[in-house]
Chain A
Amino acid sequence: MLSQTKQLIPVLAVQCQQQRGMANLKAIGLRLKSVKNIQKITQSMKMVSAAKYARAERDLKAARPLGNAAQSFYEKAEVAAESKDAPKELYIAMTSDRGLAGAVHTSICKTIRAELAEKANTDNIKIVCVGDKSRAFFQRWNRNNILMVGSEIGRLPPQFGDASKVANAILTSGYEFDSGKMLYNKYNSVVSYTTTTIPIFSQETVSNADKISVYDSLDADVIQSYMEYSLASLIYYAMKEGACSEQSSRMTAMDNSSKNAGEMIDKLTITFNRTRQAVITGELIEIISGAAAL
């Protein structure tokens, strides 16, 4: 039985070489088809992002005055975070659920992680993850610091109702923070955004601010109501900026993907044609040498 297989091997080897050419052709053909599909998908994702981006930019233009007004109150009143021994801090990471958007989510998460790494004690720091992407990131590195997670972000354009839900959840969470930071991506232009911080203050800090006494008839009730309202306004503003940055970044990323896929398709097509011609040439040679042997 073993002697029979020894005779079969040379015949099989020749057939294998033919099939190797064919197998290579099939493999390249499969790869070519899949890269073409990828290019179609990334193209369509780019179109969808471009449409969403146009709308997000319009909404952002309308929302910017609201955000600026809310921020300017704290700036004019010169509210400064007090330096306590072990201040309870809160980080709000404005990301979303959907990826393939370039570096939008990781830039926010990495900034927060770097700040946490600098601190000696991270027990007093909590993170609010708005969007599943930040949750996935922090579950790996800082699982104990996650206070709450917001999901279903990024599918639809953010509304003021969503922002007030987030603000409400933060204020009723029972975590009394002394100072907070909200990180979001501020939209600059189609190709650029900046990861920015908005400071969030506690009621005590605002009441003790320098220039707060300038304001007439400002009692604790009004301050509290105003802080709740301005927290919702600032979260809304950050959501709008973040959505615009995310859509523009996704548009750019998908555009680059399509271009890269196009280059791969060109290269693969050339290889495919060469392989095809080599297979045909090989078959011709066999036929001719077979005919010559007769």
Chain B
Amino acid sequence: AAAPTSLTLNFAVPHATIHRNATIFQANVPAVSGDMGILAAHVPLVDQLKPGIVEIVQSAGAKAEKYFVSGGFVTVTPDSIINISAVEAAPLEHFDLETAKRNLDEAQRSDSPVNRIEAEIYQALVTALTQSK
């Protein structure tokens, strides 16, 4: 069979659907095994996402839409459908750097498992926000 030439994206969180059957050019995801860029006809894979930025490029050369995800999974099927499923995700512009820094300091104060996970997420958020400035 001919290799599929387009990438179909389903990007969903439990309480909302961000993209459904959207044809895009490229998606960059923060996988646990490393940040990866996914184009059409990518090798099928399943990978866990760490807190970070998911970039969606609608067409070649277009500006990337950036979403911060708290974690989840990405699967690419043999017929070039990419499913990004995150527990929470929001456009990066919706986040405030100062509040993120404050929450990071608070989370780093104690060492319980919940706080460690919070600190990891806020750290990724602060990094993402500072890099995007």
Chain A residues within 8 Å of chain B by Cβ, number: 30
Q: A62-B16, A65-B17, A69-B85 are in contact. Are A215 and B73 (CB under 8 A)?
A: no
A218 part of interface (Cβ distance < 8 Å): yes
Binary per-residue interface labels of chain A (185-215) against chain B in the complex, 1 for a CB within 8 Å, 0 otherwise: 0000000000000000000000000010011
Q: Report the minimum CB–CB distance from A218 to chain B (whole Å).
A: 6
Q: A73-B46, A76-B78 are in contact. Are A226 and B73 (CB under 8 A)?
A: yes
Binary per-residue interface labels of chain B (27-65) against chain A in the complex, 1 for a CB within 8 Å, 0 otherwise: 000000100000000011111100000000000000000
Q: Chain A residues near B16: list those with CB within 8 A.
A: 62
List 5 tightest A-B contacts by C-beta distance, closest first.
A160-B14, A69-B83, A65-B12, A216-B43, A66-B12
Q: Chain B residues near A230: list those with CB within 8 A.
A: 73
Q: A59-B15, A225-B48, A229-B72 are in contact. Are A217 and B33 (CB under 8 A)?
A: yes
A49 part of interface (Cβ distance < 8 Å): no
How long is the Cα–Cα vector from A185 to B15 in the complex, in angstroms?
A: 19
Binary per-residue interface labels of chain A (54-70) against chain B in the complex, 1 for a CB within 8 Å, 0 otherwise: 00000101111110111
Q: Chain A residues near B14: list those with CB within 8 A.
A: 62-63, 66, 159-160, 163, 233, 236
A229 engages B20 (CB within 8 Å): no
Main secondary structure of the interface of B (DSSP, over half): strand
How long is the Cα–Cα vector from A73 to B77 in the complex, in angstroms?
A: 8
Q: A65-B10, A215-B46, A217-B45 are in contact. Are A73 and B75 (CB under 8 A)?
A: yes
Q: A59-B15, A65-B20, A69-B83 are in contact. Are A226 and B48 (CB under 8 A)?
A: yes
B77 engages A66 (CB within 8 Å): no
How long is the Cα–Cα vector from A160 to B44 in the complex, in angstroms?
A: 27
How long is the Cα–Cα vector from A100 to B105 in the complex, in angstroms?
A: 50
Apart from A72-B83, A217-B47, A218-B45: 4 A-B pairs, beta carbons within 8 A: A69-B12, A69-B85, A222-B46, A229-B48
Q: Chain A residues near B45: list those with CB within 8 A.
A: 215-218
B17 engages A62 (CB within 8 Å): yes
Which A residue sits closest to B33, measured CB to CB? A217
Which A residue sits closest to B17, measured CB to CB? A65
Chain A residues within 8 Å of B, Cβ to Cβ: 59, 61-66, 68-70, 72-73, 76, 159-160, 163, 211, 214-218, 222-223, 225-226, 229-230, 233, 236
Q: A222-B46, A225-B48 are in contact. Are A66 and B78 (CB under 8 A)?
A: no
How long is the Cα–Cα vector from A66 to B89 in the complex, in angstroms?
A: 13
Q: A65-B12, A66-B13, A233-B85 are in contact. Are A226 and B78 (CB under 8 A)?
A: no
How long is the Cα–Cα vector from A272 to B20 in the complex, in angstroms?
A: 61
How long is the Cα–Cα vector from A222 to B12 in the complex, in angstroms?
A: 20
Q: Chain B residues near A236: list those with CB within 8 A.
A: 14
A-B contact pairs, 5 of them (CB 8 A): A66-B17, A69-B10, A69-B83, A216-B44, A226-B73
How long is the Cα–Cα vector from A61 to B16 in the complex, in angstroms?
A: 8
Q: Chain A residues near B73: list those with CB within 8 A.
A: 225-226, 229-230
Which B residue sits closest to A240, measured CB to CB? B14
Q: Chain B residues near A233: list those with CB within 8 A.
A: 14, 85
Q: Report the minimum CB–CB distance from A223 to chain B (whole Å).
A: 8
Q: Chain B residues near A68: list those with CB within 8 A.
A: 10
Q: Chain A residues near B79: list those with CB within 8 A.
A: 76
A160 engages B75 (CB within 8 Å): no
